[in-house]
Amino acid sequence: MRYGAADLWSSRITNIVFVLCMVPALISMSIIYIMNNDVVRLLLSNQGNGAPPKLAMDERFFFAMMQGQCWPALILIAWIGPKLIAPDLANDALPIILSHPISRTEYVLAKLAVLIAYMSAVTWVPASLLFAFQSYMSSLPWAFEHLHILFGMFVGSVLWI
């Protein structure tokens, strides 16, 4: 598992795609900050004489955020998935690897663990951090009332993975 992950992190394209997968989380963090900061919302309003814009931080917001994260994560997995196994197949190393005291199941689970780690790093971990950020920024006791969102994001991400 560690060799597969190390090989993937050495690729510049993988690093670029990984960073691009974090862009929706950064945009969502900016939106959460703007919607919870009255001064910024007043500056964005029509020169202070109109009502400041307000976006509800509810299930729809976090669902849209999850969609924005999961589709780039699919591109990341489509890029790194073949790169995990292709070198073993191209160099005829798979029979040599499997001749050591490792079973096929262990080989597949190790490769799958790398994919799960990458997908977790771009789906439910940033979503949980955004939930915590919204809980911190909200002036109301927001987190306890919206725990179902956190649970839904985690279950949805695990299903996506």
Alpha-carbon torsion (35, 19, 130, 63), positive or negative = positive
pLDDT of residue 142: 85
Q: Which of 152, 155, 158 is nearest to 59 (CA)?
A: 152
Mean pLDDT of the chain: 85
Position 129 pLDDT exceeds 90: yes
The answer to whether the CB of 122 falls within 8 A of the CB of 76 is yes
pLDDT of residue 87: 80
Q: At what angle do helices 147-160 and 59-90 cross, to 10 degrees?
A: 20
**pLDDT tens digits for range 69-121:** 889 999 989 988 888 888 878 887 777 777 888 888 888 888 888 889 889 99
Position 48 pLDDT exceeds 80: no
- Is 90 exposed, middle or buried (CB count within 10 Å of its CB: 0-12, 13-18, 19+)? exposed
Alpha-carbon torsion (44, 49, 50, 55), positive or negative = positive
Across 65-71, average pLDDT: 90
Q: Please tell me the pTM assigned to this model.
A: 0.81
Across 29-39, average pLDDT: 87
The answer to whether the CB of 7 falls within 8 A of the CB of 87 is yes
CA distance 116 to 120: 6
